[in-house]
Chain A
Amino acid sequence: MFLENMIKIWQRYDYVFINGLFGTLWLALITVVVGTILGTFVALMRLSRSKILYAITGVYIEVLRGTPILLQLYFFWLLLPKIVPITMSDTACIIVALIVNSSAYVAEVIRAGIQAVDKGQTEAAKSLGMSDRNMMQHIILPQAIKNILPALGNEFIVMVKETSLASVFFVGELMTAYKTVQSTTFLALPSLTIAGLIYLIVTFVLTKLLKLLERRLKASD
């Protein structure tokens, strides 16, 4: 009976789930990509010798990692329309919130990746008289990327799941797709199971791909 319902729902509403899945992947991707750019700046400020920048980024990271992501979504959803001169859709507010949240986690990933590069590399570059900027760009970051990439992949997988919170604001993604189907069919559990299976398949595949990437990065050492 349950399985029958699931099959029926899928036959009827498969496009809703598929669209939802693309929404989820798109949200996660844009969040991690822009979050990485923002997070890189946060990490570099965190590592700079300026005590002020160190303190500011410290608070930034603590606040974003120390409060629930759902709270942050509400916060940006309420705040942004008030302070931004252009009209922002709910989706835009949620994307900004997700990006800001992700940037805090990514900043820590990047900072750890940079600090994991052998200190001798910094000393060698400094002893040659290289500027901080050239050293970072040509010596440290290219080596840090190997530490950072797998962790970024992980952040993407985490974001695939975290973006489900956007359904609270009816932003188009997989969990919102479930809500839509549920409210038209009144078959909550089978719809939810379908959404869950899709999440599981996607994260499973992504995890396998990530393992593959990690192995290839190791092989090039």
Chain B
Amino acid sequence: MTKQVQDQVIIRVEGLSKSFGKLHVLKGIDQHVNLGEVVSIIGPSGSGKSTFLRCLNLLETPEEGHIWFDGVDIADKKVRNARRFRPFSRGGVIDIDKHRQKIGMVFQHFNVFPNLTVLENITIAPTLEKKIPKAQAVARAEELLEKVGLLDKRDEYPRKLSGGQKQRLAIVRALAMEPEVILFDEPTSALDPEMVKDVLTVIKDLAESGMTIVIVTHEMGFAREVSDRVLFMEDGRIAEEGTPEEIFGNPKNPRTAEFLSKVL
């Protein structure tokens, strides 16, 4: 496997701030993600890792700052409200749903659709939102299911799947939209230990295939192995960033060292 991190920035974040009521969760974050890059976000719980990740596809709406994706500031209020029914407003013509189609996301609790079969889980968004013909969507879904070893489950409902299988399905569901980047929000935290490896293998294969990935994780070994860059977050800020070797081998910030000593 050869992979290249190109110098092309795919997501650029500037001065990102977010509060939940009085709780200031993100305190001004400046970051970028390059095309083909695998970025791991580590840090203590409550440090704002998940919130930061969820801001990138606007599942959380930041109060301040910019998120440039595909040359558009998706944190711009005009963009955010584009879907609202406001017959008399001008502007705001950029559709956040269209951007979300290019930013895949995998959740801690899988969030597979229980009312749809495995195959339908994967084909629903491509057929409805990208108007891909049914047969083509099914063929693509089967191809992806084959890769993660779930093809024999194609007509089952998710309730028949184990946690690890559900998470692999969730990954395939995200991939079926052909996203430019995938966000992973603690993808293995809700899994039984014996299921973790299967899911990590799928993510690792994805990383090696050149997919751009941002992952919030507590799996330090995994972060060290697959990441191009590691961000250590603490108290709503990125306290340190560097290559896995730098962060895990020779952390400069004493807070990073303290955190790593606790989890490693």
List the interface of chain A (C-beta within 8 A of B): 48-50, 118, 120-121, 123-132, 134, 138-139, 142-143, 221
Contacts and interface: CB of A to CB of B under 8 A. Distances in A.
B115 A123 contact: no
18 contacts: A50-B84, A120-B107, A123-B105, A123-B107, A124-B105, A124-B111, A124-B112, A124-B170, A127-B100, A127-B104, A127-B105, A127-B107, A128-B177, A129-B100, A129-B101, A134-B129, A139-B115, A221-B159
A138 B125 CA distance: 10
Of the listed residues A49, A124, A125, A143, the one surrounded by the most CB atoms of chain B closer than 10 A to its CB is A124
Contacts of B217: none
B174 interface: yes
B59 A127 contact: yes
Interface in B77-91: 83-85
Given A127-B103, A128-B124, A143-B114, 15 more contacts: A49-B84, A124-B105, A124-B173, A125-B125, A126-B59, A127-B59, A127-B104, A128-B101, A129-B98, A129-B125, A130-B124, A130-B125, A134-B128, A139-B124, A221-B159
Contact of A120 (B99, B111, B125, B173): B111
Contacts of A131: 83, 97, 129
B68 interface: no
A49 B86 CA distance: 11
Interface of B: 57, 59, 83-85, 97-105, 107, 109-116, 124-125, 128-129, 159, 170, 173-174, 177
Nearest to A48: B85
A128 to B, nearest CB: 4
B111 A128 contact: no
Nearest to B126: A128
Contacts of A125: 113, 125
Contacts of B98: 129
Chain A CB within 10 A, most for which of B83, B102, B125: B125
A198 B84 CA distance: 51
Nearest to A121: B111
Contacts of A120: 107, 109-111
Given A120-B109, A138-B124, A128 B115 contact: no
A127 to B, nearest CB: 4
A3 to B, nearest CB: 53
Nearest to A145: B115
Contacts of B177: 128-129
Contact of B129 (A49, A128, A139, A143): A128
- Which one of B97, B99, B105, B129 has the greatest number of beta carbons of chain A within 10 Å? B97
